[in-house]
Chain A
Amino acid sequence: MSLLEVRDLTLRFGAVTAFEGVSFDVERGDLFAVIGPNGAGKSSLFNALSRVYEPGAGSVRLDGRDFLRVRRDRLAALGVARSFQNLGVFPHLTVLENVLVGRHRLMHGGIVRGGLGLAGREERRHRAAAIEALDFVRLAEHQATPVQLLPYGHRKRVELARCLAMEPTLMLLDEPVAGMNAGERSEITALVRRLRGERDLTVLLVEHDMGMVMQVADRVLVLDFGAPIAIGTPEEIQSDERVIRAYLGEEFEEAVAA
């Protein structure tokens, strides 16, 4: 059984169809990417999968469970972590505190034990896990810095470290390199590759940047005008005519043919 099974998923806003009839499987351990030109429905699909929007039809199963019926604050407990396109970090908290928030559902110590000082061991354990996640994104030396003082690329790494600290099985990444300069983009691309390679994780990535996706993805789904037009390995996608047409436009194709 696949980790994530999406069947005939459809989302409409009034008369506007964001996407329709989207089906795909994400296998355990895979890095699955959804790409498409602007307005293809990528972000809507991501928001439906992260439960921000309610899809009108179709089903999503996570590990066989009906994903669309889970309360949003319970998604973390099912092993789902997500990052945000426009960053979901806590600016005035320190880097370490940002990552510790990711441990929330794994923490137990209540006020009684905490007040008696018995939570010390638990706290040390969570701090160690948070620092381990910060090591992975190479930010451990900045752990005491408020996030608002860090440059954009570093903040994205803080967010990814928080996702890692949640000990997820499925990580949803919403356009992680959007708005980045070339240096930051290659930095985050390398990090996502390492997520895939060094962690026991399944990753679903929605991304506009074709170059980034081709470097990291195992399988790719291409959306155009809200409909899936191709699914396959990066090599298959790169040579798919419909994808080329969607990305470059028919005029370009005609120009090449002429």
Chain B
Amino acid sequence: MTEFLQLLFQGVSLGATYALVALGFAVVYRSSGVINFAQGAMLLLGAYAISWLAVDLGLAFALAVVAATVMLALGGAALHMLVLRRVVGQPTFVLVMITIGVGIAVTHGVEVAFGPDRRLLGDPWGSSAFEVGGVTINTVKVWGIAITALALAAYFAFDRYTRWGLAMQATAADEEATLSVGVPVRRVHAATWALAGALATLGGLFLAGFPGAPQPALGDAALRAFPAIVVGGLGSPFGAVVGGVLIGVVEVLTSGYAPESLGMNFYAVAPYIAMIAILLVRPYGLFGARPVERV
């Protein structure tokens, strides 16, 4: 039982981080129909930015996190304004290809600048932990869950209680029509990418927390969070969060309980198996909008 609770806690903690990553995918998809394959590179860049500010420049850690979040948000907006905006009117596929290219360039740029080795994150938590009823609770994971919950709550409040939530969805459906009601469509897009950058920084922070570290392979976590958005339903922020937690729990429980005969790294495959199983039952994910067409 203790082992189960231990794994469950770790699963929820990992799942919370996946939820952040998946939400980053979902906000971009929902307002532009683009699957942002640069999301992994943004996670990586976010984690390295924190590490650079906190370790190399010696900023207080909280300040480093805030500064890195702002930097990545500006970077996301700049990506839209300098690059993506220029291909307006091209098929979505073109934008997707650009995000793949940007992702590769950023990942390798980071590796060139900081080298291939693991770095220190500079966080005050390290491997510190406490115990509750036999379950080891890492401080960094508690913070991870708490800050993720806060960020998600802030996002959903923004989506529900400001006019921009609806404006973002309208923008994805029909830019001309959205422009005609007075929504500054370009600014909506820039804000979406800024949001993706900010969410990626927080995701990168907790992916790079103990037992991880800022390292070039960090961005691969975006691919592991990918089943989360598919399970949740593309373009559904709430689905992204549910899918993220679900996938995190599946991954950790599998790593704990899967028989050895399935292989060492079976836990990495399990989220995809769960994804396929769910899609068989619900082809558009748990909360995805089912496209309805008249025939």
Interface set of A (CB-CB < 8 Å, partner B): 50, 52, 72-77, 81-82, 84, 88-93, 97, 100-105, 107, 109-111, 114-115, 119, 146, 148-149, 162, 166
B157 touches A88 (CB 8 A): no
23 contacts between A and B (CB under 8 A): A52-B176, A73-B183, A75-B180, A76-B182, A77-B182, A88-B177, A89-B173, A90-B169, A90-B170, A91-B173, A93-B166, A93-B173, A97-B166, A100-B166, A101-B170, A101-B181, A101-B183, A103-B163, A104-B163, A114-B157, A114-B161, A146-B292, A148-B291
Complex contacts, B169 vs chain A, CB 8 Å: 90, 92-93, 97
Q: Report B-chain residues with C-beta under 8 Å of the C-beta of A92.
A: 169, 173, 289, 291
Beta-carbon contact of B161 and A84 below 8 Å? no
Distance of A92 Cα from B168 Cα, bound (Å): 13
Q: Which residues of A contact B176 (CB under 8 A)?
A: 52, 84, 88
- Residues in B with CB closer than 8 Å to A74 are 182
Residues of chain B contacted by A107 (CB below 8 angstroms): 163
Minimum CB–CB distance from B124 to chain A (whole Å) comes to 29
**Across the interface, do A104 and B181 meet the contact criterion of CB distance under 8 Å?**
yes
Is B162 part of the contact surface with A, judged by Cβ < 8 Å? yes
Interface residues of B in 259-295 (CB under 8 A from A): 289, 291-293
Report the minimal beta-carbon distance from A201 to chain B, rounded to whole angstroms: 16
Residues of chain B with a CB closer than 8 A to A76's CB: 180-182
Residue of B nearest to A77 (CB): B182
Contacts of B289 in A (CB 8 A): 92
B167 & A104 in contact (Cβ 8 Å cutoff): yes
Cβ of B292: which chain A residues have Cβ within 8 Å of it? 146, 148-149
Q: Please, how many residues of chain B have a CB less than 8 angstroms from a CB on the other chain?
A: 26
Provide the bound-state CA to CA distance between A86 and B89, in Å: 17
Per the bound structure, the CA–CA distance linking A230 and B293 in Å amounts to 43
- From 131 to 180 in chain B, residues with beta carbon under 8 angstroms from any chain A beta carbon are 157-158, 160-163, 166-167, 169-170, 173-174, 176-180
Q: Do A90 and B179 touch (CB < 8 A)?
A: no
A71 to B176, CA, bound (A): 13
Min C-beta distance of B96 to chain A, whole Å: 20
Give Cα distance in the complex from A204 to B222, angstroms: 50
Question: In angstroms, how far is the closest chain A Cβ from the Cβ of B151?
Answer: 13
- Residue in A closest to B185 when the chains form the complex, CB atoms: A73
In-complex Cβ contact of A114 among B162, B183, B291 (8 A): B162
Please give 17 more A-B residue pairs, beta carbons under 8 A apart, in addition to A76-B182, A103-B163.
A73-B184, A76-B180, A81-B181, A88-B180, A89-B174, A90-B169, A90-B177, A100-B166, A101-B166, A102-B181, A105-B182, A111-B162, A114-B160, A146-B292, A148-B292, A162-B181, A166-B182
| Cα-based distance from A34 to B114 in the complex (angstroms) | 64
Instruction: Please name all residues of chain A whose beta carbon is closer than 8 Å to the beta carbon of B183 when the two chains form the complex.
Output: 73, 101, 104-105
User: Does B182 lie within 8 Å of A88, measured CB to CB?
Assistant: no
A173 to chain B, nearest CB (A): 12
What residues on B are CB-neighbors of A104 within 8 Å?
Answer: 163, 166-167, 181-183
Closest approach, in angstroms, between the C-beta of A43 and any C-beta of chain B? 14
Cα distance A166–B182 in the bound complex, in angstroms = 9
Shortest C-beta distance, B239 to chain A (Å), equals: 14
Cα distance A91–B293 in the bound complex, in angstroms: 10
Closest chain A residue to B175, Cβ basis? A88
User: How far does the Cβ of B166 sit from chain A's closest Cβ, in whole Å?
Assistant: 6
A50 to B169, CA, bound (A): 23
> Which residues on A sit within 8 Å (CB–CB) of B157?
111, 114-115
The residue that A166 contacts in the complex, of B173, B181, B185, with Cβ under 8 A, is: B181
